[in-house]
Amino acid sequence: MKMKPLHDRIIVKPSEKETVTASGIVLPDSAQEKPLRGEVIAVGPGKQLDNGKVVELEVKVSDIVLYGKYSGTEVKVDGQDVVILRQDDVLAVIDGGSAKPASNDKKAKAPKKGKK
């Protein structure tokens, strides 16, 4: 089945849930977190403004995006889980590289301030 989102909506195929931690511990289903990133598989025509103009979406098919934890609607189409989001729900587009989650055990260090 082919789906075409309307207006400013996009369809995202969520990435796989992490089943093993970086240290090799296997996570049970109850401990696995919902993916917050995925690949855009379809985009709508754009958002219609109050003056009637249609503004094209910034995200494109095959972009890897990050979205909010409670954003969008999860649906199953032909046995495949997808998330339908508005473009406003997209937090960032990942350019190149992989869309691996940040490890929680590595804390970012704040930059040191120099003395005056």
Q: For the segment 44-59, what is each residue's pLDDT rounded down to a tens digit?
A: 998 888 998 988 888 8
Q: How do 80-86 and 37-43 pair as beta strands? A: unpaired
Q: Under 8 Å CB-to-CB from 9, ≥6 apart: which residues? A: 44, 84, 85, 86, 87
CATH says 9-14+26-94 is which class? Answer: mainly beta
Please report, for the chain, the start and end positions of each structural domain, with discontinuous segments joined by +. Answer: 9-14+26-94
Q: What predicted TM-score, i.e. pTM, was given to this entire model?
A: 0.67
Residue 18 has a pLDDT of 63
Mean pLDDT across 18-26:
69
Residue 107 has a pLDDT of 45
**Is pLDDT at 93 greater than 70 in this prediction?**
yes
**Is pLDDT at 83 greater than 70 in this prediction?**
yes
Residue 57 has a pLDDT of 87
